[in-house]
Amino acid sequence: MIYLDHAATSPIKAAYNQGECSYWMNPHSGYAINSRNEIAQCETIVRQALGLTGGYVIFTFGASHAFQVLATQRSVTNKKELVIIAGPWEHESVYDVADYRYDVEASENMDKHFDPNNPVLYCQQLVNPITGEYFDINVIRKHKLKSMMQMLGVDLTAAIGKCDVQEANVSGCADAIWLSGHKFGTRPGVGVLWISNRLAKYYRVTIDPTNGHNLVHGTPDVQAIHLLCERLAFMCTKDYVRRANYNTVLLQSSMINALKNNGIEFKLFDTVHSSTAIHALTLPGFNADALCQFLASKEIYVSPAKSACAADNNYRVMQNFGYTNKEAEQTIRISFSAETTQAYDIIGLVDAIKEFKLKYVE
C-alpha cells in the first residue's frame, strides 16, 4: 500500500494503551483527580507548544467541532454581536458555518462588516490543506483588521509539523486557534480550540475547565487528549520541523524528477510559498476523479483537489487560487508524511500515473 493522503488523515503514531496512559476515568467527577490533573497539564502543553499566553484551552472533538463552538456559543456583549467571516480558501467546516464569506459578498457589504466599531472574527488558515500554501497572518492582521474589536481566527491543522507556528507569530496574531489531531497521527475525534481573553468576552466562558470552560459538553477522552498533546509538543519543536521539511523537500524533488523522466506533463502549485508536504499536482488531459479511483485499485491513495465535505462537490478552493474549473478537475492533492513516506512510494505513484496515461489518456 502507498498512502499519500496524510493531509486528510494519518495513522496513529506513538503508543496508545492502558499501560502508556491510564487516564480513563471521568474527569468531571471528584474521584478522578489524576484525570483532572492530566487535563490541566495538557492545557499547559498546548500553551507551550504553540507559544500561547492567557485565554482558554478547550479540548474538542476535532477542528470542525471547535469551529462549531465558535459559531454557536456566541453571546451578545455591550449590544454588539460578534460576526464571523470566512476567507476565500477556508475548509467547508468554516466556510459553510461563517456568517459571511469574503469571496461572495459585495465589497460594500464587506466594508460594512470590517468597520472598526464592529466585532469581527476573520478566519484564515496558516497552511492550506489542498495546495500547501503558506499564508502570512501578520500581513493579514495588519492590513485587514483595523481595531482591537477585529480579531483573527487561525486553523492550524495543516500547519502542525510543517512550519514553526511560534516563528509565524500565531500567538501574537490570533484570537482563536483550532486544530484536529487525526491529521498528524493522533486518535480521531479529538482537537483543540484556544480563544484569547479578548475574544472570550463574546462567549459565556468560565474559569472552571469543566466541560471545556462551559463551551463543550460530554465527557473528555483523556487518553486521546494525552496523545494529542504528546504529538503536538513533539511536532512543534524547531528540530522536528527542520527535519520534516528536509525530508519532504527530498520527496518533492523525487516526485518532480520521476514525472519528468517518465515524460508526464504536469504543473505544481507554487512550490516557493507552499509546504513541500502538500502538493496540488495538475496533470493536463487527466480526469482527477478517475485517476484517484484507478490509483486506489492499486492501493495507492491520494485525493482530488477539492474538499470531500463540499455539499455540491465543487472546486471552490482551487478556483479561489486562480485555477479554472477544467484545471481543477485535472488536479490531485498529494500529501506526504515526513516520518513514513519513502522515495519508493513516489516511484510507485508515478509508475501508476504513467500506466493510467497510456491506457486512458493517450
Q: Is pLDDT larger for residue 243 or for residue 79?
A: 243
Least confident of 50-54, 61-65, 218-222: 218-222
* The pLDDT value given to residue 78: 63
Residue in the block written with cell 471521568: 26
Confidence band, pLDDT 50/70/90 cuts, at residue 16: low
Residue in the block written with cell 474521584: 31
**What does the pLDDT average to over 62-83?**
88
- Residue ranges with strand state E in the chain: 2-3, 56-60, 83-86, 100-101, 120-123, 150-155, 176-180, 191-195, 267-268, 278-282, 300-301, 303-304, 331-335
Cross-strand pairs, 191: 60, 180
% of the chain residues with pLDDT over 90: 74
- Whether residue 356 is predicted with pLDDT greater than 70 in this model: the reply is yes
Q: What is the DSSP letter of 273?
A: S
Instruction: Tell me how far apart the 2 most distant CA atoms of the chain are, in Å.
Output: 68
Least confident of 14-23, 56-65, 75-84, 293-302: 14-23
* The pLDDT value given to residue 107: 73
Confidence band, pLDDT 50/70/90 cuts, at residue 18: very low
Instruction: Give dist(CA 83, CA 64) in Å, integer.
Output: 18
What is the three-class DSSP state of 49?
helix
Q: Are 309 and 90 in contact (CB under 8 A)?
A: no
Q: Are 245 and 213 in contact (CB under 8 A)?
A: no
**What does the pLDDT average to over 271-288?**
96
**What does the pLDDT average to over 34-38?**
86
Which residues, 6 or more positions from 200, have their beta carbon under 8 angstroms from its beta carbon?
Answer: 55, 56
How much of the chain is in helix, strand and coil states, percent to nearest 5? 40, 15, 45
Instruction: Give dist(CA 87, CA 102) in Å, integer.
Output: 5
Q: Is pLDDT larger for residue 114 or for residue 183?
A: 183
Domains with residue ranges and CATH for the chain: 2-7+238-361 (3.90.1150.10), 33-235 (3.40.640.10)
- Whether residue 70 is predicted with pLDDT greater than 70 in this model: the reply is yes
Cross-strand pairs, 155: 178
**What does the pLDDT average to over 281-301?**
97
Amino acid at 82: L
For 139-166, write each residue's pLDDT tens digit: 999 988 888 889 999 999 999 999 999 9
pTM above 0.75, yes or no: yes
Q: Is pLDDT larger for residue 262 or for residue 149?
A: 262
**What does the pLDDT average to over 248-252?**
97
How many Å separate Cα 202 from the centre of its chain? 24
% of the chain residues with pLDDT over 70: 96
- Whether residue 79 is predicted with pLDDT greater than 90 in this model: the reply is no
Task: Give the residue among 167, 158, 186 at the shortest CA–CA distance from 277.
Answer: 158
- Summary mean pLDDT of the chain: 91
Q: What is the DSSP letter of 166?
A: T
Answer left, alpha or beta for residue 185, where phi above 0 means left and psi between -120 and 50 means alpha: left
Confidence band, pLDDT 50/70/90 cuts, at residue 326: very high
- Whether residue 17 is predicted with pLDDT greater than 60 in this model: the reply is no
